Chains A and B, each alone.
Chain A
Amino acid sequence: MKSRLLVVFRAALLAAALLPVMPVTLPAIAADTGGLATLRGAPIDSASPDSGDALKKAIESTPLERDFTQQPPLVSHAVDNYPVTKNFNKCLDCHSWENYRKEKATKVSQTHFQSAGGQDLANISPRRYFCLQCHVPQVDAKPLVASTYQRPSAR
């Protein structure tokens, strides 16, 4: 009697242990996100949508026209794997005054030679070192939020 009880107990234990791996069809639980949407516009558990594809490839041509005065010109090429670290700045490898002629590249604006204290330096000011803070690769990016802004030329 005692041994039979033990067998039943063991079987129940085994079934309980196997429950998570058994192909049981459970009713699908709708994810309650409380009205929150992901930035990529698709549920978090879905495969990556193609909405980011336009942003993956820089438009390699002449720089796109600027939309407003003082707008930093866009980078007309991809910058993937271009390091801008404390040790080395890949942008300056072609765009510095020392190298731009040989590389047939656009030279850095002389406005970037001024230090924070208004002193004119012989080379780019350290405060202007991180080029990609202002100059971004040009991509076919649609506005994320609707805006009534128009280019001065289109007004």
Chain B
Amino acid sequence: MIRSIIGQCRRFLSAGIVLAFVIGVAFVAVFNTTMDWTNTEAFCISCHEMKTNYDEYQRTIHYANRGGVKATCPDCHVPEEFAPKMAAKIRASSDLMHNILGTIDTPEKYEARRPAMAQRVWERMKDDDSRECRNCHDANAFDYAAQGYRSVNQHTEGLASGQTCIDCHKGVAHQLPRIDQGVGVSEGISQDIFRPR
């Protein structure tokens, strides 16, 4: 009697373990597929709002270059590591709300918010020591013999003083917001924020 109950429990337990395993595998598969799908360029530009910045990006070296090696949206905007990636995905979900609200659905609205949007990305990249840049551009692999003398000076001095890629390389994939360079009307983001020296 007791033996048969134990046997039934065992059978039930092993069936449960197998079921949990199958569900787990299925969950991971669906989760990864969804994550990969939301990390494609086609997904990013499926919203009307992304047209402006995508058009700008297509005119930069990160889209069109001699060898045709591209950095697409997620290469710069989505971290590769799991935890930061999930954080980025959760942050990006607010885009859905702004899509419905129409926050940047006209060129005028887009330009009005460009300084704030640009500065948010600059700040994040500085906080992360330009992690997404460095996924491709490894400063340790720089061939200073192949770089121009100006690049060599800037890179060696900048990297030695603890500067990070985004400190100098802003606007490499999208148009810059107005920077206050003191010519004509004084307006826009201050040079100290744009280019800390």
Contact = CB atoms under 8 A, between A and B. Distances in A.
Interface of A: 60, 77-78, 81, 83, 85-89, 92-93, 96, 98-99, 102, 104, 122-126, 129
A123 B182 contact: yes
Determine the interface band of chain B, counting residues with CB < 8 A from chain A.
20 to 34
A60 B148 CA distance: 8
Interface string B163-197: 00000000110011111011110001001000101
Given A81-B61, A98-B191, A87 B175 contact: yes
Interface of B: 60-61, 148-150, 153, 171-172, 175-179, 181-184, 188, 191, 195, 197
Given A93-B195, A102-B197, A87 B182 contact: no
A81 B183 contact: no
A26 to B, nearest CB: 35
27 contacts: A60-B148, A60-B149, A77-B148, A78-B148, A81-B60, A81-B61, A83-B171, A83-B176, A85-B175, A88-B171, A88-B176, A88-B178, A88-B181, A89-B183, A92-B183, A93-B181, A98-B182, A99-B191, A102-B197, A123-B182, A123-B183, A124-B182, A124-B183, A125-B183, A126-B183, A126-B184, A129-B183
B150 A92 contact: no
B187 to A, nearest CB: 10
Nearest to B148: A60
Given A81-B60, A88-B171, A123-B182, 9 more contacts: A81-B172, A86-B178, A87-B175, A88-B181, A89-B183, A93-B181, A96-B181, A99-B197, A129-B183
B181 A92 contact: yes
A79 to B, nearest CB: 12
Contacts, number: 50
Contacts of A125: 183
A96 B176 contact: no
Question: Which of B60, B175, B184 has the most chain A CB atoms inside 10 A of its CB?
Answer: B184
B175 to A, nearest CB: 7
A77 B150 contact: yes
Question: Which of B150, B175, B176, B188 has the most chain A CB atoms inside 10 A of its CB?
Answer: B150
Contact of A87 (B60, B172, B178, B197): B178
Nearest to A78: B148
Contacts of B150: 60, 77
A100 B187 CA distance: 21
B136 to A, nearest CB: 17
Given A92-B183, A93-B195, A129-B183, A85 B148 contact: no
